[in-house]
Amino acid sequence: MVAVLKPVLKTYAEIKALRIQGAEAVAAKSVNALAQEMLASQAKTRKGFVKEMRGAVAFLKTSRPTEPALRNALRFMLLRTMESRETDVVALKQLVEQEAREYHENALRTKMKIAEYGARLIPKGASVLIHCHSSTVMRALKKAQDDGKKPHVFCTESRPLYQGRISAKELSDYGIDTTLAVDSAVSTILRKLSDDDLVFVGADAITAEGDLINKIGTCNIATLAKEHGKSFYSCTGTHKFDPLTLWGESEKIEERSPDEIWEKKKRPRKLHIMNPAFDVTPSSCVTAFVTELGVIPPSSLISLLWKRFGLEEEG
Ligand code: RUB
């Protein structure tokens, strides 16, 4: 076991406590922590440096199990470092710094593209139902507002930790007409919506089958949206794709503390509580993924992702 230093431990604890939440933020803060940790490394040799980096990556990756964006980002940084022929530790530190910088530049470009495609999907004056707090969805809605579309947004509370309130406050502060409702009001909201209105959610993971993994309750909303004939979009960068699912591995769904639902000292002693953080929405309920590559239905996304991850067959 390799010892991990302060930046990685601090970020790990903040992610665990959900002070850092949402797939994008979890990945971005972990990239920063890894870079800071490696800059402070006392390793004298390339071998020692890589060993330390490998340990930090392995540790950070366990902070949230259902986050391929986190795993992909850290794995990519580690691979680039391992593939470089550099033996000088100072140069290796510069390389890691550059990898982190490029990660952020790329993440920003990706989000801007998604916001552009997402905003285009929203007709003027339309209502958009959202769930939880996705920084990607926030950006698309703000772009629609900037473009003069004046959307009305319905936010669910997103129990148990009310991340929907973060969305509601952020959008309302931005000047967007916003309504907050309990999670179980979704079918009532969908019934009110007109044919032009739509649903936007983020993504924590996209699987090889084109299924979507996102905050618990997303599947209920998608199923109801289909029932009510409403378009259901997931706004996400393709870096949320989990390549391991190509080989039949299923994405692990994080089970969070029962205390988030009912504090131990207040709840009946023998009561069982389940608290899955995410659920799986089948591709058949997803109209399309709004990605940096365009608005892509689940059935076409996978062939594009093969290319993105360099997995296409030779010749
Ligand atoms: C957050 C959540 C978000 C996705 C996408 O769950 O499900 O919809 O992470 O967010 P939690 P983003 O609060 O448990 O992390 O678009 O910011 O990556």
pLDDT tens string, the chain, 315 residues long: the values are 456 668 899 999 999 999 999 999 999 999 999 999 999 999 999 999 999 999 999 999 999 999 999 999 999 999 999 999 899 999 999 999 999 999 999 999 999 999 999 999 999 999 999 999 999 999 999 999 999 999 999 999 999 999 999 999 999 999 999 999 999 999 999 999 999 999 999 999 999 999 999 999 999 999 999 999 999 999 999 999 998 887 778 888 999 999 999 999 999 999 999 999 999 999 999 999 999 999 999 999 988 887 766 655 443
Q: Is 132 a catalytic residue?
A: yes
Query: Is residue 237 in contact with ligand 1, taking CB distance under 6 Å?
Result: no
Using a 10 angstrom Cβ sphere, with 0-12 exposed, 13-18 middle and 19 or more buried, the burial of residue 264 is exposed
Spot the catalytic one: 155, 197, 204, 219.
204
**Alpha carbon of 46 to those of 31, 81, 291: distances in Å?**
20, 10, 37
Residue among 112, 143, 215 to mutate when testing ligand 1 (max atoms within 8 A of CB):
215
pLDDT of residue 25: 98
pLDDT of 3: 60
Q: Which atom of ligand 1 is nearest to the CA of 158?
A: 13
| Nearest ligand 1 atom, CA 131 | 8
Ligand 1, closest atom to CA 161? 13
Beta carbon of 23 within 6 Å of any ligand 1 atom: yes
**Per-residue confidence (pLDDT) for residue 125, from 0 to 100:** 98
Q: What spatial distance separates the first Cα and last Cα of the chain, rounded to whole Å? A: 42
Between the CA of 89 and the centroid of ligand 1 the distance, in Å, is 36
pLDDT of residue 310: 65
Q: Is the CB of 156 under 6 A from ligand 1?
A: no
Specify the pLDDT at position 315: 33
What confidence score (pLDDT) does residue 6 get? 87
What is the set of domains in the chain, with CATH numbers?
Answer: 6-110 (1.20.120.420), 122-308 (3.40.50.10470)
Centre a 10 Å sphere on the Cβ of residue 166 and count the other Cβ atoms it contains.
18
Known active-site residue 279: no
Q: Do residues 115 and 139 touch, judged by C-beta distance below 8 A?
A: yes
Tell me the whole-structure pTM to 2 decimals.
0.94
Tell me, using a 6 A CB cutoff, whether residue 214 lines ligand 1: yes
The finding on whether 132 has its CB within 6 A of some atom of ligand 1 is yes
- Residue nearest atom 12 in ligand 1 by C-alpha distance: 134
**pLDDT value, residue 304:** 85
